A and B are shown apart, each in its own frame.
Chain A
Amino acid sequence: MTDDLHNIDPAITEAVLANAAAFIDADTRIDEIISWGKNELKAREEQLKAKDGSLQDFKKAAADIELLVSEKLRHLEAEVRAKYPGDS
């Protein structure tokens, strides 16, 4: 890993480090969204089992959650893009 560091222009490293918090924050928030999706699906699974739901119901719930997670991630990306407009 340290070898890789020597290959990076110091100016770039400095610019990136100045924004390290943004990288870490985005990374953490994405992990949180994915965990939320998995926990939500687990909860739905338990609900369906209690209500005698079918596998089709579970698949529908899974599709709904995938959509919700996808929307949350898109919202997060838009937020990051608004803060860092240089990408557009």
Chain B
Amino acid sequence: MIAGYRGASTTRRRSRDTIFPMGIEKLWTKSRNDRLVDPVIQADLDAEWERVKQSLDHLGDRAKATCAAIIYNTVARPLVPIRHRRTSEFAPAKQMIAGAVDSTTKTLALVTHVLSTSGRATKYGVRRALVI
């Protein structure tokens, strides 16, 4: 053992314990626990959680709509003759008929539901049914 080591350590601990009688670690833990149950902080935390959840859900919904539009525009849009009201020219491919994605999603929801309930989902690579 190194001479004087034990004594020095004990002295340091004693002086710290004089300033913080309950021990500094316990004091920190206490203040942290006090903050965790503080209703104002808890309310702020809840509000932030709610904001983030809504933001993430919004991002997810937007991505779903975009992906549905991308797939729809490639596989089904060429089959839909859309004409401009005045010129009777075909509309550009970017333009989608109103409700096309909705109809597509509803069709898929019904089909995946039928596949799932009849036990054929795995065969067609459907992992779960869409829920409308």
Contact = CB atoms under 8 A, between A and B. Distances in A.
B79 to A, nearest CB: 5
Chain A interface: which size bin? 35 or more
B70 A81 contact: yes
Looking at chain B's contact residues, the main secondary structure is: helix
Looking at chain A's contact residues, the main secondary structure is: helix
A1 B69 CA distance: 20
A30 B60 contact: yes
Contacts of B111: 17, 20
Contacts of B74: 84-87
Contact of A33 (B48, B52, B60, B112): B60
Interface residues of B, number: 52
Interface in B9-65: 28, 32, 36, 41, 44-45, 48-49, 51-53, 55-57, 59-60, 63-64
Interface in A18-35: 18-28, 30-31, 33-34
B75 to A, nearest CB: 5
Contacts, number: 141
Interface string A41-67: 100010001001001001100100110
Nearest to A78: B70
B48 A59 contact: yes
A32 B90 CA distance: 38
Contact of A30 (B52, B64, B107, B132): B64
Interface of A: 1-2, 4-5, 7-9, 11-13, 15-28, 30-31, 33-34, 37-38, 41, 45, 49, 52, 55, 58-59, 62, 65-66, 69-70, 73, 76-77, 80-81, 84-87
7 cross-chain pairs, A with B, having the tightest CB-CB distances, nearest first:
A86-B74, A84-B74, A87-B73, A26-B67, A34-B60, A73-B63, A87-B70
